[in-house]
Amino acid sequence: MNPTARKVLMLTKGLIYYKNGRQYVPWVVSLKTGDSYECLFDAINISLNAVSTGTNTQIGAVVDRLVDLTKTKTLIVDWKNIGSVNAANYSYLVVSTVKKDSYGTQTTRAIVTSSFPRQQTTLDVSDLRGSYYIRVHARAGSDGIESRLKVYGVWGVK
């Protein structure tokens, strides 16, 4: 392995994949569908914005390479959604063998609906063996809905 290659930051008991604007593994735009969507990687967060004017609209971000989750018990995402106060505003943390696909293509996932203040959401991955893609998605599920997701961190705990 190239000694200058980026490495996942090792915690005492886990791995950081993204934290406050820093990509410890590269992240890229995942699947995008629908009316109006945007994915921005800035110095503070990953900003995912999906706005529906009649169709189901989603945008996602995904790690650019598979990550081994064999020894990981829990994935944690630090995020908030400042979009519509509506059950059709969805935020997803997804683990999948498929890199760029919909929120529905998953091995396991965590879902939070409506807008919410900054919080940490956990996903149990203790039964998984092998390498997977980690994705985050914002989805506006019906006409007039806005999903405005801010992701500050994604990490695993052993």
Q: Where are the domains of the chain?
A: 9-157
- What is residue 35's predicted lDDT score, i.e. its pLDDT? 81
Kindly report the three-state secondary structure assignment for every residue of the chain.
CCCCCCCCEEECCEEEEEECCEECCCEEEEEEECCEEEEEECCCCEEEEEECCCCCEEEEEEECCCEECCCCCEEEEEEEECCCCCCCEEEEEEEECCCCCCCCCCCEEEEEECCEEEEEEEEECCCCCCEEEEEEEEEECCCCCEEEEEEEEEEEEC
- What is residue 3's predicted lDDT score, i.e. its pLDDT? 40
Find all residues with CB under 8 Å of 10, minimum gap 6, and list them.
none
Q: Does residue 69 contact residue 123 with C-beta atoms inside 8 Å?
A: no
Q: Does residue 91 contact residue 147 with C-beta atoms inside 8 Å?
A: yes
**Could you give the CA distance from residue 67 to residue 131 in angstroms, rounded to a whole number?**
5
User: Per residue of the chain (158 residues), what is the pLDDT tens digit?
Assistant: 444 344 455 544 569 999 999 999 999 999 899 989 999 999 999 999 999 988 899 999 999 999 999 999 999 999 999 999 999 999 999 999 999 888 888 999 999 999 999 999 999 999 999 999 999 999 999 999 999 999 999 999 99
CATH 3.40.50.300 fits 9-157, yes or no: no
- What is residue 13's predicted lDDT score, i.e. its pLDDT? 52
Tokens representing 61 are: 């971000």
0.85 surpassed by pTM: yes
Tokens representing 100 are: 């760029």
Q: In which residue are the tokens 């990981």 written? A: 72
Select from 38, 61, 67, 81 the least CA-distant residue to 135.
Answer: 61
Q: In DSSP terms, which residues pair with 37 in a beta bridge?
A: 50
